[in-house]
Structure 1
Amino acid sequence: MWLLPPRPLLLLVSLVASVLPAGAENVLRSSSLAACQDNSGFTASLFDVVYTPNNNTVAINMIATSSIEGHVLFDIAISAYGYEFIRTTLDPCKSNLPGLCPMTAGDMSNPFILPVADSAASQIPGIAYAFPDLDASVRIYINMTSGEQKGKRIACVEANISNGKTVDLVGVKWGTAAVAGLAIVASAIVSGLGFSNAASHVAANTLSLFGYFQAQAIIGLCGVPLPPVVASWTQDFQWSMGIIKVKFIQDILTWYQRATGGTPSTIFDSLHTVSVQVEKRSLVAPSLAVFGRAAVHHAASIVKRANITTFFGSYIVYGIQRVAFRAGIESTNLFMTGLTFFYIFFVLAAFCVTAFKGLCELAARLHWIKGDTFSDFRNGWLTVLKGVLFRVTLIGFPQMTILCLWELTQNDSPAEMVLAVFFLLGMIAVLGYAAFKVIRMARRSIALHRNPSYVLFSDPQALNKWGFLYVQFRASAYYFIIPVLGYTLVKSMFIALSQSNGTAQAVGLIIVEVAALITASVLRPWMDKSTNSFNIAICAMNFVNAIFLFVFTDVFGLPPLVIGVVGVVLWIANAAFSLILLIMLIVTTAIVLFTNNPDTRYQFMNDDRTSFMKSQTHFQTTNELEALGATARASGKFKPPMDLDDDDDGSEVSNPANMALPPSQTNSARTSMYSNPDHVPAMHAPSVRPRPSSSFRAPSPFMSSRAPSPYTASLSNSSQPNIHPAHPVGHKPSPSAPSAWQRGAGYE
């Protein structure tokens, strides 16, 4: 029996390696031996085999139990990426294998080392040691050749082979996280300098890329058997879901669970006596019903999980548990790990905004910077802080909905259940309220000004506080945040609540992703053509990944080789796509940071949003609204807008003059305005937020359907004091004074 593991192992690698590239480090190993049939007469709770070609030895550490007595024949099947290379038989009596002719019942637990013949080692090409996440396995059927059970298959074991190479790399995790983080910071700095157009483009693309990273991580969280390369690739992006191992944090979370009445799992403390298998395409978990009460009771004391299948001390993890095990996190700590890092990110964002405010004030006092540098941020930093925290909540929404819903099915401890309910309902309520506010403001703007851009972009406090929900969309698609939140919530429910049914998850994801792709392609809700193309491409890739995931369920009974090839294609396609997106973002961010006027790189949106924002001297647009606003400001006929974010609508309702004129009265009002500038209706006083310009252009489509601007009158008679100025002409408010245009980086 001692030679049973190494002989199939060498047969496997001699064939599988022929399709793989050469590598530097030569090692092949198997860390699990799975039973592949019910009531198998041979099982192993620990199986660790390492082949080192440098000295041609195989080190074996195995804890196994055999109930087989008599003469047997080994039927060996060797496959790579689902393709069976060899199907052969081995008679232990003819091969002079000691202890196997005949086999005897008993336990085996002594580690040992076996030499490997040069003839066997020479059959292993160097390509076997370099290809990442080698998907190779050997399956051994043990058939009786004597006694009453002659000709009957009494055992089946399977070993997966790895060469130690993987695409689950720390460098990929740090690289993707660094690019996304630096791009967000860069957009905030550029916005603080006044280049809001460039900043909004960089921020929108960065957050879309971050959402794509989360979509990649979600694939790994599905309860579908994944090829090794797919499981490793998706593990690179689990940081975006807050699944990060830090030793002292894990110790604290284990203590917290015990202190709140929970029972932590100890699967990592038991690795020296048990074997943990990561579920893959060829590994079918046996039913718990055939294990017996003793096995189930023993497993419950170690794993305490419904979706870790046990077999005499050997465990098979899948779905969310698979991600936790590969990350080195106990399954009972997974929810609190994600929650902890979400909270850390939340606090860190608040600290960074506050610290930047303090540094700006200190630099201004010490004359390191000009007194008006970042003046808008310094005056309205509290509003900016609120917007940043809302944005963090939106980023963490997919992560927390999945983990909170999943925790409700796990019940790690009563306190953790309370936290799951609190954060789930709290985040849904906060984002739902924010979306309601945006829709309410946009509808008010349409009712008053026939243009949603006015209220959404003219009120700086509303822009900084709620702009994170709509600034990446065109003004007429202000409502699109509702489908985005609904898409995230439905997708999270499929992932968290259907862990035991991978097929249902795959079908659900196909439905969700095709709906997202069609909606994005038809509505094209983002701010401009390039941003729409960026996001539609991500939606298309997510849909393709959902198709691949459905293939992995093997509901069509496809040949194993097809499934193996699809796994490699998914990895290559997503790796190339991610690289392209990262390069685009890096180049764009670098150009924005090192260009004197980055706003000139982007065409201004055609929804008039720039006409309603705070005027910046570097804007060189030619909008009619801007020219009119420049004239109004020059004559001192401008005052800050009313607080359109106020929940009380009484002021607008009680003043019907604020309502747009009906079509039948538009011509007469326009005639009266132009013929008698002294009678400009007061209702239109704050109707635009123009910015200076030296030239005119044709009116936008919104101008043709909107009530005429009162500033038209001021073009012909700029001395009429119809509107009280906010400041005397020529007066420049100090940087420390409160500004009516407190715009910052809150929506980036």
Structure 2
Amino acid sequence: MITRTRMALLVFFTFLACLRSSLAQTSPVSTDKDGNRYVQYTGEDGPVLLADNRRPSLYTADFGDCMGGSTINVTRFDASYYKDNMTVLFHLAGETGVKSDVVMLYIGVFAYGENRFDLVFDPCNANIASLCPMNGTVPIEASGIIPVSQEDVAGIPPIALSIPDFEGEAILRIFSNTTRQQIACYTAVVTNGNSFSHPAAVGSVLGIFTFVAMIASFATAIYGTAVPTMRLHYAHSLSVGVVFAVWHHIFFTGALSVNWPSVLVAWWSNFAWSGGMIYSSTMQDSINKLIGNNIGNTSHVGAAQTGGDNTDVGGGFDTSLLYKRRTLEARQAPMSGGSTLGTAEQGYHWYGDPVPEGLPLPGNFSGFAGTLGQEGIRASNAFMTGFLWFIILLVILIAAVIAFKWSLEGLVRYKKIKQDRLQFFRDHWLGFTAVITLRICYIAFFAMLFLSIFQFSYESSSGVKAIAGIVFIVFFAGMLGVASYAYWYRRHTVDFESRPQFERKTLLGKIPWFGFKDAPLQPSRGDAVAHDGNSNMDESAAKPRFWKRLSTGPALVHTTVNSIHDDEDYTRKFGWLAARFRRTRWWFFAFWLCYEFLRAIFYGGASGFARAQVFGLLVIEIVAAGFIIWMRPFEGQRLNLLVVYALSFSKVITVGLSAAFDVEFNLPRIATTALGIIIIVVQGILTILTMIAIVVGSVSSYMSLTRNQEGDDFRPKKWAGIREKYFNHLDKSVKDLPGESRKDEDEIFVNEVNPSTFDIPINISTTTLPQPSATPIPSGSRPASRPVSRAPSVRSVSSGNLPFGARAHRMSWSMRDFQQ
């Protein structure tokens, strides 16, 4: 027996309750002078007029065919429950090609994955004349208003009427009494109207913030004349690539082939625009013509497809049991109704439309198909939709750069701005246009690779797969090729001492061969003075390790090579890849591309294999998060905070919790909804942090653009001190040096414990000191018997006053000491 709490969620289907109640009575409807319709309801406080077009407490939305080849084409299937006047309104419409047949109807209501209420009834007993009997010449139409009692709805918890994205569905099955076989099946999603899905509002706000970040980043990139200074300020503006990395992480999480809760799919719809999943009827019609009838099957990614054979939806059915129930319930009183359907023209808007084939069944949110179903986009159309919007965005941005350039020229010609305003950009606008094009491809690298790989694994048109193959090759070979060339170019254009040199060698001791000659290390001046002269030092200790050879600069490699960010030629060519990273992490773009490629493989290539997909991604995200946290690649602190910590944490938590949504684990839907809300909270915090970073980045970009203004001319003046601190921070961060150790507050105590080296008495035997010579001896011809001048050793320092076990203070350190 169904408990009152569970049963309450379904009572809004009034025609279910009406078959168990007395003859229904229709409330009178009145119309005012403006044409507004009102329903009169008499309650405890007397008669009340209620607007006929008010939103129901619970109602059905879109519906779809869950049988495939149904002999009845249902064009209208909806029901709504009104709490204010305790009534239920329902409509049913359709048509059939069957000449004549007597049918039986089954209605089942499911909430959060469980059967809450079901009923089998004869349409003749429910006053549905168009189905008694069913005739191909008579259109099927039925409607009714049924009052319900307080007992019927006493178990409905208030949260069911207000919780966002109520997860429920209603299933209509029609059986032929002649053959006792199912001849039609339709399912509709049940909602209360509250949702996390507000793409028009939330998506627009996110788009505005992204546009602000884009303008700020572009402005810092083109302002100035000195390339190193321009790069410095550009590196500390908020990266548009990072912003899209956040949006893509949130939306494309829905590509995992698990059974998502409705709250997550609704939440992700606010970010669909960032992945190019923007619905346009014209575009979708064009793609449908290209694809044809080969629309694939959403069951490949775990979603039940509309128009497919889904006999097990709602747990399936047993025909013999249904007909036994019909016999037992045949004594129920008939229901009165009419044949007038409420429409939008009459003020009734609370009903859905039939879902076209290729989309998942309403109420099913599994896999990437379920995520796209919220946008009305077929899984077979995903790649072409994203690719076309990418082309449109690329053309718009290129045209905007060109228009901006010639607008500046026009303003200069008419003397609206100074002649030298943005002169560097105006002289190199073609290069900027090319760089912007490459940067857009870099940002879209993951999305395009994922969509193309997903198209390969999804059964659909071969023509679309061919286009996806071309796009995959262009992005994969193109971006990784450019990244490899950028790394090779840097390694082969540094100072001659650090370039790889060739030398003659022999292979197997006899065959003439050649190989790379290791460039000698260039010790710093301090190391040269403090060198202890040990010629037997291990060569492997002097050779920098692999991860140190990846970075450039004297901080790690002991070379005299300048910082990569001081190389104007490299910055002009590859600044769109390396400009934002620390000088010792300039190669991080190569790691990022490889990391995004691995993610795209698991998201797209492993679609349909939930466990391999989820746990493989979980390993990748954990390893990548640890590596990125160790690297802290960005020069700007805000980018490190956003990417290194917030984004990495969100990815690990999201993928980890998503494993619980695997259908094989059979987790209760209420529990999955709770986990989904946790994911929304995590991703919501990430979104808020990103928006805050965009605002702060816009302020810092404004300070960068006004860096040539004197302090008195800068506005607002109260920000002048902040700007000065910001510029000092830029000067410090560009050096990428380890942080200075803090001075001990008690300097007197420090001096007592560790006195100055000049205060330590040194006892050095004069016999060990070299005799002065008037003629300097070259280092290469120094006699072996003459000792090399070095810093005093520990043994040569007087340690008579030191306690037992104490070590004398070393006055100087050699290069070898640091390496140890």
Match of 2:696 in 1: 587
Matched-pair contact (CA < 8 Å) for 2:383–2:451: yes
Aligned-partner SS, 2:587: helix
Residue from 243, 247, 259 that aligns with 1:209:
243
Cα deviation, 1:578-600, whole Å, max 9, x if unaligned, reads 12321231233135326733585
Closer, same or farther in 2 for the Cα pair 1:283/1:391, shift >3 Å?
farther
> Which one is further off, 548-557 or 352-361?
548-557
Contact 1:140 1:158 in 2 (8 A): yes
Residue 471 of structure 1 corresponds to which residue in structure 2?
A: 579
From 200, 223, 248, give the equivalent of 2:235.
Answer: 200
Change (3 A) 1:455 1:553: same
Residue 426 (structure 1) aligned with residue 551 (structure 2): no
Give CA-to-partner distance per residue, 1:487-540, whole Å, 9 cap, x none: 211211222223322333222221221122111122222224443222121111
Unaligned runs of at least 5 residues, structure 1: 14-23, 144-148, 268-273, 287-301, 612-663, 666-701, 706-748
Offset of 1:31 from its aligned partner? 4.2
Rounded to whole Å, the distance in 2 between the matches of 1:405 and 1:414 is: 14
Paired residue type of 1:244: I
Equivalent residue in structure 2 for 1:9, among 13, 20, 32: 13
Aligned twin of 1:746: none
**Who is 1:699 aligned against?**
none
Question: Which whole-Å CA distance do the structure 2 matches of 1:278 and 1:183 have between them?
Answer: 45
Cα distance between partner residues in 2 of 1:466 and 1:448: 23
Equivalent residues in 2 for 1:448-459, closer than 5 Å: 448=497, 452=552, 454=562, 456-459=564-567
1:235 is matched with 269
Counterpart of 2:217 in structure 1 is 187
- Residues paired across the two proteins, number: 563
Q: Secondary structure at the match of 2:238?
A: helix
Distance 1:390 1:344, change over 3 A: same
Q: Distance in 2 between matches of 1:533 and 1:180?
A: 18
- 8 A Cα contact 1:229 1:568, kept in partner: yes
Check the 8 A contact 1:167/1:229 in 2, yes or no: yes
Flag the 1:344–1:571 CA change in 2: closer, same or farther, 3 A: same
Aligned residue for 1:60? 91
Contact 2:104 2:120 in 1 (8 A): no
CA RMSD of aligned residues (A): 5.1
> Residues 590-628 of structure 1: CA distance to partner in whole angstroms, max 9, x if unpaired?
3532673358526237675699xxxxxxxxxxxxxxxxx
422, 428, 442: which one aligns with 1:394: 442
Q: Which residue of 2 aligns with 1:134?
A: 166
Q: 1:141 to 1:161 in 2, by over 3 A?
A: same
**Greater shift in the superposed pair: 543-552 or 187-196:** 187-196
State the TM-score, normalized to the length of structure 2: 0.58
- C-alpha contact (below 8 Å) 2:618/2:652 kept by paired residues: yes
Q: Please state whether the residue corresponding to 2:91 is helix, strand or coil.
A: strand
Does structure 2 retain, via aligned residues, the 8 Å contact 1:6–1:49?
A: no
What pairs up with 1:348-427 in 2 under 5 angstroms? Answer: 348-410=396-458, 412-427=460-475
Q: Quick one: which of 144, 157, 162 aligns to 2:191?
A: 162
Contact 1:57 1:116 in 2 (8 A): yes
CA spacing shift, 1:535–1:10, aligned 2, 3 Å: farther
Inter-CA distance 499–546: structure 2 relative to 1 (3 Å threshold): same
- Which one of 629, 651, 657 corresponds to residue 548 of structure 1? 657
Query: Does the Cα contact within 8 Å between 2:212 and 2:694 map onto a contact in 1?
Result: no
Deviation readout 1:54-111 (Å, 9 max, x if unpaired): 6734222266999x99999x997864x56x6x96787969xx86799xx999999723
Residue 327 of structure 1: SS of its match in structure 2?
coil
Q: Partners of 1:470 and 1:446 in 2: how far apart? A: 19
The offset of 1:541, in angstroms, is 0.4
* Secondary structure at the counterpart of residue 371 of structure 1: coil
Q: Please tell me whether residue 334 in structure 1 is matched to residue 389 in structure 2.
A: no
Q: CA deviation at 1:391?
A: 0.4
**Change in CA separation of 1:383 and 1:142 when aligned onto 2, cut-off 3 Å:** closer
Provide the rounded CA distance (Å) in 2 between the counterparts of 1:423 and 1:391.
Answer: 16
Distance of 2:573 and 2:214 partners within structure 1: 17
Does structure 2 conserve the Cα–Cα contact (< 8 Å) formed by 1:442 and 1:478? no
Could you tell me which residue of structure 2 aligns to residue 49 of structure 1? Answer: 78
Residues 503 and 9 (structure 1), Cα distance of their counterparts in 2 relative to 1, 3 Å cut = farther
The residue type equivalent to 1:456 in the other structure is I
Give me the whole-angstrom Cα distance separating, in 2, the residues matched to 1:545 and 1:463.
Answer: 36
What is the letter of the counterpart of residue 601 of structure 1?
Y
Superposed displacement of residue 155, structure 1: 12
Residue 172 (structure 1) aligns with: 202
Deviation of the 1:390 alpha carbon = 0.9
Q: Does structure 2 retain, via aligned residues, the 8 Å contact 1:514–1:543?
A: yes
- Please say if residues 245 and 327 of structure 1, whose CA atoms lie closer than 8 Å, have aligned partners that are also in contact: yes
Aligned to 1:225: 259
**Distance change >3 Å, CA 408–CA 601, structure 1 → 2:** same
The alpha carbon displacement at 1:550 in A equals: 1.0
Unaligned runs of 5+ in 2: 1-8, 18-53, 225-229, 298-303, 317-354, 499-521, 523-550, 554-561, 708-722, 738-778, 781-814
CA 336–88 in structure 1, closer or farther in 2 if over 3 Å, else same: closer
1:482 corresponding residue in structure 2: 590
- Post-superposition shift, 1:42? 12
- SS for the counterpart of 2:403 is helix
Identity of aligned pairs, percent? Answer: 19
Residue identity matched to 1:565? A
* Pairing partner for 1:539 from 648, 656, 662: 648
Question: What is the SS of the residue equivalent to 1:111?
Answer: strand
Matches for 1:496-515 after TM superposition, within 5 Å:
496-515=604-623
The DSSP-based 3-state class of the residue aligned with 1:226 is coil
Offset, 1:340: 1.1
**Take 1:172 and 1:248, find their aligned partners in 2: how far apart are those partners?**
24
Which entry has the higher C-alpha Rg, 1 or 2?
2
**CA spacing shift, 1:558–1:374, aligned 2, 3 Å:** same
Distance 1:609 1:6 in 2: 66
C-alpha displacement of 1:48: 2.4
Give the secondary structure class of the aligned counterpart of 1:346.
Answer: helix
- Select between 315-324 and 211-220 the one with higher mean Cα deviation: 315-324
Kindly provide the amino acid, as one letter, of the partner of residue 726 in structure 2: R
One-letter amino acid matched to 1:420: A
CA distance in 2, matches of 1:35, 1:355: 50
Distance 2:490 2:305 in 1: 58
Cα distance per residue 1:382-428 (max 9 Å; x no partner): 22222111100011111211221222334654543332122111111
1:604 alignment counterpart: 730
Q: CA–CA distance in 2 between the matches of 1:62 and 1:99?
A: 11
> In the TM superposition, what is the alpha-carbon distance from 1:452 to its structure 2 partner?
2.8
1:484 partner letter: W
Shift of residue 34 of structure 1? 8.5
Which letter does structure 1 place at the counterpart of 2:91?
Answer: I
Q: How many Å separate the matches in 1 of 2:258 and 2:614?
A: 8
1:583–1:409 CA distance, 2 compared to 1 (3 A)? same
Q: 2:393 aligns with which of 345, 351, 355?
A: 345
In 2: Cα distance, 1:364 partner to 1:610 partner: 39
Structure 1 residues 491 and 138, CA gap change in structure 2 (3 angstroms):
same
* Whole-angstrom CA distance in 2 between matches of 1:77 and 1:502: 28
**8 Å Cα contact 2:166/2:192 also seen in 1:** yes
Alpha-carbon separation, structure 1, partners of 2:210 and 2:309? 31
CA, structure 1 residues 380+140, in 2 after alignment: closer, same or farther (shift >3 Å)?
closer
| TM-score, normalising length: structure 1 | 0.63
1:244 equivalent among 261, 274, 278: 278
